Structure 1
Amino acid sequence: MRRITRALGAALLLAAAADGMAEDQFKLLVLAMPGKYHYEYIPIARDSLERMAKLHAFELTYTNKPQVFEGDLTQYAAVMFLNTPGEELNAAQRAKFEAYMRGGGNAIVVHRAAITPPNDWVWYEKMVGRSVGPHPKLQTGVVTVVDQNFPATFGLPARWIWSDEFYVTTNPYQVKIDTVLSVDESSYDTTKIWPGQTVKGMGKDHPIAWHHRHEQGRVFVTTLGHNGEMYRDPQYLNHLLGGIYWSATGLGQKR
């Protein structure tokens, strides 16, 4: 019995040592602040992203405090604005983030984070790559893969039935983006919107996820991710993981 106990103890020590020697591949900062229409997602997304980080061996800092931008951002391979737009940062925090991107930092922008008041922070608008206007109510539509060689589309079907707010965007600063996902406007009612607002569709060219370069960094934007339950959906999480992986490492994109 003593031999078995000793052997078991040795095995546990070896396992603990091996686990202790494991190193995270990169570090990700996620800013997730509650808003008027986006708050229930926060604990769900945190749980899913923490599981993702453990599974894929990266370190996660998940916070609702914009003061984190006053610290050392260079430790992070990428910064994610999760349903939290740049307008939440004050002038000093914005300056720190701009310096981070100029130094080769990378960004991920998710859903509500793509919406920012016009001319409030033009640099951020350019980083997002598109400006969001009025958008239809949450509806079921058909998302189409535009770039099957980009990691955020791996595992998605060519035509994916998804329910979300399909943002209508404009390009006032003529920023070049590479579209990752589009939405088929014939699959939902583009005019179905909140009372007192009007909206038109964008036609065949309606990007809802894209990537591009800004300053010296990589930027991945997905306008999908409106409600909390989406952050439990395996296909959506794979989409998000692909954007995180590419943003943080620059790898995985087939040429």
Structure 2
Amino acid sequence: MARILVYSRTTGYRHASIPAGVEALEKLGLEYGFGVEASEGVHCFRPGRLERYDAIVFLSTSGAVLDEPGRAALTHYLKQGGSWLGIHAASTTEYDWPWFEGLVGAWFDRHPELQPAVLTVEDREHPATEHLGERWERTDEWYAFRRNPRSAVQDIRVLLTVDEATYQGGTMGADHPLSWCHEYGGGRSFYTALGHADETFQDPEFLRHVLGALRWLGVEMRAEDD
């Protein structure tokens, strides 16, 4: 059976939705037949330990969450073909480690107040977005990033952008990616900026977004109609 690690350590801002996110991923594991282990212990990131997981999920981590042996273990895991999924505040993590910026694709810069907006679904052929229409209306924290991953990351595949004309306080302009994926460091990386509130982790469309991300990352699971 496939197994994922859900890592949610924070040394900066801590999102109240982390327990809801862990619970949602555990329920997906039960429903689709993959194991879920949740931890906030850096001891998980040691030589030989990460290899037991089919994917590593950083669930709204923030600040410095890995020590030097942990960084080395994560780098090695990706080099061996591992998979990484970042959700929401994962992009606020490890600001002094350039390798991690390459992994996530872009570091968080700022966001306006929580409000509704409209997403454009740029890629409807990816497992994480194939269930969506061309536009997706949601309420979330609309993260802006220190760089645009589309221009900064080689072979980036942007899946979702947010239309800054549909909310107040956007700072990235006409091209504002929010979810993307790419090959990195020998493995695969997927990031979605969605996931601020508890309610997000009860939203079937968002959960299918995460499930599709895990499928793309290579996590084997039961088919939805099984």
- Counterpart selection for 1:237 from 207, 212, 216: 207
Alignment match, 1:228:
198
Unaligned stretches of 5+ in structure 2?
A: none
Counterpart Cα distance in 2 of 1:241 and 1:93: 26
Counterpart Cα distance in 2 of 1:214 and 1:85: 21
Q: Does 1:89 align with 2:66?
A: yes
User: Residues 215 and 117 from structure 1, CA distance in 2 versus in 1: closer, same or farther, beyond 3 angstroms?
Assistant: closer
User: Residues 244 and 174 from structure 1, CA distance in 2 versus in 1: closer, same or farther, beyond 3 angstroms?
Assistant: same
User: Residues 32 and 190 from structure 1, CA distance in 2 versus in 1: closer, same or farther, beyond 3 angstroms?
Assistant: same
User: Residues 145 and 171 from structure 1, CA distance in 2 versus in 1: closer, same or farther, beyond 3 angstroms?
Assistant: closer
Asked whether the 8 Å contact 2:57–2:87 carries over to 1, the reply is yes
What does residue range 41-80 of structure 1 map to in structure 2 within 5 Å? Answer: 41-70=17-46, 72-80=49-57
Deviations 1:23-73 (A, max 9, x none): x2x111110235664342232222211110011111111112221112511
RMSD across aligned positions (CA): 2.2
Asked whether the 8 Å contact 2:34–2:220 carries over to 1, the reply is no
Asked whether the 8 Å contact 2:65–2:93 carries over to 1, the reply is no
Alignment match, 1:150:
126
Matched residue type, 1:123: W
Larger relative contact order (C-alpha < 8 A, sep ≥ 6)? 2
Counterpart Cα distance in 2 of 1:107 and 1:85: 16
What TM-score results when the alignment is normalised by the length of structure 2? 0.88
Matched residue type, 1:186: A
Counterpart Cα distance in 1 of 2:187 and 2:220: 10
Asked whether the 8 Å contact 1:38–1:227 carries over to 2, the reply is no
| Structure 1 residue matching 2:152: 3-state secondary structure | coil
Unaligned stretches of 5+ in structure 1?
A: 1-23, 192-199
Counterpart Cα distance in 1 of 2:63 and 2:54: 18
| Structure 2 residue matching 1:153: 3-state secondary structure | coil
Counterpart Cα distance in 1 of 2:11 and 2:20: 15
Asked whether the 8 Å contact 1:28–1:61 carries over to 2, the reply is yes
Asked whether the 8 Å contact 1:131–1:171 carries over to 2, the reply is no
Larger-Rg structure: 1
User: Residues 56 and 236 from structure 1, CA distance in 2 versus in 1: closer, same or farther, beyond 3 angstroms?
Assistant: same
Deviations 1:122-168 (A, max 9, x none): 10011111122122221100011000001111222221111111111
Greater percentage in helix: 1
Alignment match, 1:174:
152
Q: Does 1:184 align with 2:163?
A: yes
